[in-house]
Structure formats: C-alpha cells, structure tokens
C-alpha cells in the first residue's frame, strides 16, 4: 500500500509525518538534511508515493536533493497549504507535517515548479548585483546627508567625480574626514564589486543566444533579459504566451460574488523584481523615440487611462512578446508587436 509523507522543513529540524490507508502510521523529526530525511523515509515509508513540503528558503535544495535520492518530491504553494493547515487547533511543526501528509494523500494541493540550479545561479547573480547597487546608493546618500549637516554640499555627480568632490570638500575638515572617509572607502569597494558582477552578467548574456534575442527589443537590456530567462526557464512551462502576464501578476484581479462583479488592481503575484524590470522597460518604450507598434499602442492607451496604467499594460504585453520570441526564435518585429 502506498504511503504519503508530509515534511515541515525548518532550518535545524524537519518534522516528518507518514500516512497510509487514511491513517498516520508514524511521525518524528530529524536534522534538516535531505540525505538524512531520505534515510528515514526509506526505513519508515519504503513505498512512498508522494513527499510533500511547502515553498521556503530550503525548498530548492530539498526538492533536487530528494529527487536525486529517488523520492517523489513535490513542492506546494505555501499560501495554498496555509489555508488547510490553519484548520488545526494548535500550530506545531508536527501538526503541520500531519496536515501536509493529509494533503498529499487526498491530492488537494497546487504543485510549484521548482527552478533548476542553472536558473537559480543566474537569478542569484542578478540579485547580488542589485543588492550591491542599492547599498552603493544608500552609502552615497548617507555621505551627502552627513556632509550637508556641516554646510558641505556635494554637487550632483556619479562615479569618480563623486569621489573627487568628497575628497575636495573634506580637504580642510580633518575631524569630519575621519568619519566620512571610511564610508567613502566602503562606497568605492561596493561600487567595484557591483561593477564586477555587472561584467559577469554582460559576459554571460553575450554568449547566450536567448538573451541576445530578447535584447533586440528596445528597452530590454542585459539584466531584464537574464532575469526573464531565469524565471521562465523553458517556454514549455506555459501553455500559451498570454499566461506569462498573469503568472507575473500583471493582470487585473477580479472579484465576483452575487451581484458584485468588478476588476481591481493587478494581482502582483510572481516575481516582484522581474515585474519591476518589465515595468521599467515599458517606461523606456513609452518615453524614448524607438518607433514600434507596441509604443504606438501604449501611447494611445496612455491618453485614455494615464501613463502608469499604460506602462503596466505595456509591461504585460512585453512579457507575452518575450515568451513568444523565445518560443519562435524570431527577432523583435516592430510592426507586429502590438498584436500580442
């Protein structure tokens, strides 16, 4: 008889629950290491049919490691699982594992597509660079604010000119310099590290045909193309290109109950970073003079509903176009883009 397992994964320990024939036959805990979990399951559930756990920080590692051990690992949406797990009177790791095992047995869950390690590496590279850029901006703003207090106004500048302006203004400020200069050194270090990661991104995109294909779209650069490919992975993951817009949370929510039926704001589901990048690309398309049918369509929409809503609509259409391009292998068509 088949056995169904629920795993409540935490950083140190994983709660395990095993069900068979509608009853729990065993539950316990072990350290959060997929190889140790696999050993326990081979002993306690040799006929495992489903091993279910929620999305979380360790879900990618657990999914691939358990799959490599030959176990039928299934990662499910944590929001979906929460609705079922909240029915338990007491919130404990053991009860959560029981609830997940029950979901595995009845098949009432929504499986999540877990990304491969290559996609996660590219996404990690983009995230690391973005974080360093943000830290660099925060440090420069901190330096400006500290020096402004003493009447030292740094002109608007970037890069080496910013450093030169700070050094010039601190030339006669020895005490203040002992405070600000360490911040400037940290700014220089963060800026150099961000530039190194940016060079890695450019080098990877230069040797990636899919990135080069997407970068033929005006407004889509290295970061947007790399992030999109890392998120989509395979075009076959979506039945239609139009599904990508909804997956990224760029379609409006609908609320219908009785006589009430209205559309709200966009759902904002999916990857917020990629959604922001697509919005930025849409703004570039609408504001820069790179003629295309997509830009013409967006400008007409802007006159009706305003710039921001039009930019969101262009971002959704852009996501659909990018998926269709990856699927067909064709370059961006300026005349047919608005038909997506």
- The answer to whether residues 273 and 316 belong to one domain is yes
- The answer to whether residues 232 and 313 belong to one domain is yes
- Report yes or no on 111 lying in a domain: no
Domain final residue pick, 151, 175, 207: 207
pLDDT beyond 60 at 257: yes
- Report yes or no on 147 lying in a domain: yes
Domain final residue pick, 177, 207, 237: 207
- The answer to whether residues 44 and 74 belong to one domain is yes
- The answer to whether residues 161 and 216 belong to one domain is no
- E strand or H helix at 299: helix 293-305
Closest CA to 69 of 55, 48, 53, 54: 48
Q: What is the pLDDT of residues 277-291, one digit of tens each?
A: 999 999 999 998 777
- The answer to whether residues 296 and 283 belong to one domain is yes
- Report yes or no on 35 lying in a domain: yes
- Report yes or no on 174 lying in a domain: yes
- Report yes or no on 112 lying in a domain: no
- The answer to whether residues 90 and 173 belong to one domain is no
Domain final residue pick, 151, 179, 207: 207
| CA 77 – CA 82 distance, rounded (Å) | 9
pLDDT beyond 70 at 239: yes
Q: What is the pTM of this model?
A: 0.83
Q: What is the mean pLDDT of residues 38-55?
A: 94
Domain total for the chain? Answer: 3
**Burial code of 242-268, b = ≥16 C-beta within 10 A, e = fewer?**
bebbbbbbbbeeeeeeeeeeeeeebee
- The answer to whether residues 253 and 285 belong to one domain is yes
Mean pLDDT, all residues of the chain: 91
**Enclosing domain of residue 77:** 3-106
- Least-confidence region, from 9-13, 71-75, 78-82, 180-184: 78-82
- Report yes or no on 128 lying in a domain: yes
Q: What is the pLDDT of residues 160-196, one digit of tens each?
A: 799 999 999 999 899 999 999 999 999 999 999 999 9
State the sign of the Cα–Cα–Cα–Cα dihedral 224, 225, 230, 234: positive
| CA 85 – CA 23 distance, rounded (Å) | 17
Under DSSP, the state recorded for 111 is B
- The answer to whether residues 195 and 243 belong to one domain is no
117-149 vs 160-169: helix axis angle to the nearest 10?
Answer: 30
Closest CA to 319 of 259, 278, 264: 278
């Amino acid at each position: 008889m088949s056995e169904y397992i629920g795993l409540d994964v935490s950083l140190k320990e994983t709660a395990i629950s095993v069900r068979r024939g509608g009853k729990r036959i065993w539950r316990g805990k072990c350290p959060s290491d997929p190889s140790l979990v696999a050993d326990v399951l081979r002993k306690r559930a040799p006929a495992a049919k489903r091993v279910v756990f929620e999305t979380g920080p360790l879900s990618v590692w657990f999914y691939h490691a358990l799959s490599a051990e030959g176990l039928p690992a299934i990662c499910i949406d944590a929001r979906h699982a929460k609705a079922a797990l909240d029915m338990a009177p007491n919130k404990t790791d053991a009860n959560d594992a029981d609830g997940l095992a029950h979901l595995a047995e009845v098949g009432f869950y929504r499986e999540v597509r877990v990304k491969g390690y290559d996609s996660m590496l590219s996404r990690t590279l983009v995230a690391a660079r973005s974080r360093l850029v943000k830290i660099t901006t925060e440090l420069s703003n901190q330096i400006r604010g500290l020096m402004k207090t003493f009447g030292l106004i740094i002109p608007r500048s970037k890069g080496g000119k910013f450093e030169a302006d700070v050094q010039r203004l601190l030339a006669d400020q020895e005490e203040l310099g002992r405070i600000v200069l360490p911040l400037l050194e940290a700014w220089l270090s963060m800026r150099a590290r961000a530039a190194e990661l940016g060079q890695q991104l450019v080098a990877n995109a230069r040797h990636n045909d899919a990135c080069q294909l997407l970068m033929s779209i005006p407004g889509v650069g290295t970061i947007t193309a790399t992030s999109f490919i890392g998120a989509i992975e395979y075009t076959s993951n979506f039945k239609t290109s139009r599904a990508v817009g909804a997956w990224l949370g760029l379609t409006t929510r609908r609320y219908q109950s009785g006589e009430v039926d209205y559309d709200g704001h966009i759902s904002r589901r999916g990857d917020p970073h990629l959604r922001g990048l697509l919005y930025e690309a849409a703004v570039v398309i609408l504001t820069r003079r790179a003629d295309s049918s997509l830009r013409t369509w967006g400008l007409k929409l802007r006159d009706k509903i305003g710039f921001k809503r039009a930019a969101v609509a262009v971002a959704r259409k852009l996501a659909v176009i990018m998926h269709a391009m990856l699927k067909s292998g064709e370059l961006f068509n300026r005349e047919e883009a608005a038909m997506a």
